[in-house]
């Protein structure tokens, strides 16, 4: 558990959010598009596990991580992974190049990228070159 906590803490410090600023031309329809996409992919409108702000969330964060997608009024879209450690939660970018839960996060990114493709925006990826364990000598 300590290793997982440390990996999640490092990911939160280095990659706090996956943020995408939507073009103004998309902002009027973005909320409706996001709601339809969320319903299709099993996300529910719920309060965030971290700050209780409204978001679309999939998962409870217990034993597995939850994914939260939040559309801000200014058109900024945040896509985060939340890990609950009972004594506190850690939130970091879904596409953070961290080893923590990477296979599951890659699967979640495929669904998120369908939404981004609908808006003709570039996909989110986990940069493979940045993932790995560094051993200090």
pLDDT score at 61: 65
The C-alpha atoms of residue 46 and residue 49 are separated, in whole angstroms, by 9
H or E, element range at 76:
strand 76-84
Q: What is the pLDDT of residue 10?
A: 74
Q: For the chain, what is the total number of helices (H) and then of strands (E)?
A: 3, 6
The pLDDT, as a whole number, for residue 91 is 78
pLDDT confidence of residue 5: 60
Q: Supply the pLDDT for residue 18.
A: 80
Q: Integer distance in angstroms from the first to the last C-alpha of the chain?
A: 25
Low-confidence stretches of the chain (pLDDT beneath 70): 1-9, 11-12, 61-64, 85-88, 128-137
What value does the CA radius of gyration of the chain take, rounded to a whole number of Å?
Answer: 15
Q: How far apart are CA 96 and CA 89, in angstroms?
A: 16
pLDDT in tens, 95-121: 887 777 777 888 889 999 999 999 999
Give the pLDDT score at 119: 94
């Amino acid at each position: 558990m300590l290793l997982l906590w440390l990996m999640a803490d490092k990911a939160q410090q280095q990659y706090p959010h996956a943020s995408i600023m939507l073009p103004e031309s998309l902002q009027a329809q973005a909320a409706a598009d996001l709601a339809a996409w969320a319903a299709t992919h099993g996300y529910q409108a719920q309060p965030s596990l971290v700050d209780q702000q409204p978001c679309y969330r999939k998962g409870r964060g217990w034993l597995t991580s939850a994914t939260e997608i939040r559309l801000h009024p200014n058109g900024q879209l945040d896509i985060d992974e939340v890990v609950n450690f009972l004594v506190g939660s850690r939130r970091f970018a879904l596409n953070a190049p961290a080893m923590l839960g990477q296979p599951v996060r890659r699967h979640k990114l495929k669904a998120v990228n369908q939404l981004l493709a609908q808006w003709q925006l570039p996909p989110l990826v986990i940069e493979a070159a940045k993932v790995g364990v560094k051993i200090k000598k």
